Chain A
Amino acid sequence: GENVEQHPSTLSVQEGDSAVIKCTYSDSASNYFPWYKQELGKRPQLIIDIRSNVGEKKDQRIAVTLNKTAKHFSLHITETQPEDSAVYFCAGFTGTASKLTFGTGTRLQVTL
Chain B
Amino acid sequence: NAGVMQNPRHLVRRRGQEARLRCSPMKGHSHVYWYRQLPEEGLKFMVYLQKENIIDESGMPKERFSAEFPKEGPSILRIQQVVRGDSAAYFCASSPSGGIEQFFGPGTRLTVL
Residues in A lying within 8 Å of B, measured CB to CB: 32, 34, 36, 42-46, 49, 89, 93, 95, 97-105
Taking a contact as CB atoms under 8 Å apart, the answer to whether A44 and B91 are in contact is: yes
A45 CA to B56 CA, complexed, in Å? 23
Shortest CB-to-CB span from A2 to chain B, Å, is: 10
Residues in B lying within 8 Å of A, measured CB to CB: 33, 35, 41-45, 48, 55-56, 91, 98-107
Shortest CB-to-CB span from B94 to chain A, Å, is: 12
Taking a contact as CB atoms under 8 Å apart, the answer to whether B99 and A100 are in contact is: yes
Known contacts A98-B99, A99-B33; A43 and B91 CB within 8 A of each other: yes
A94 CA to B106 CA, complexed, in Å? 25
Taking a contact as CB atoms under 8 Å apart, the answer to whether B105 and A43 are in contact is: yes
A43 CA to B90 CA, complexed, in Å? 10
Residues in A with CB closer than 8 Å to B56 are 97-99
Q: Which of B43, B45, B55, B106 is in CB contact (< 8 Å) with A89?
A: B43
Taking a contact as CB atoms under 8 Å apart, the answer to whether A43 and B104 are in contact is: yes
Taking a contact as CB atoms under 8 Å apart, the answer to whether B106 and A42 are in contact is: yes
Q: Whose C-beta in chain B lies nearest to the C-beta of A42?
A: B106
Taking a contact as CB atoms under 8 Å apart, the answer to whether A98 and B48 are in contact is: yes
Residues in A with CB closer than 8 Å to B101 are 34, 46, 49
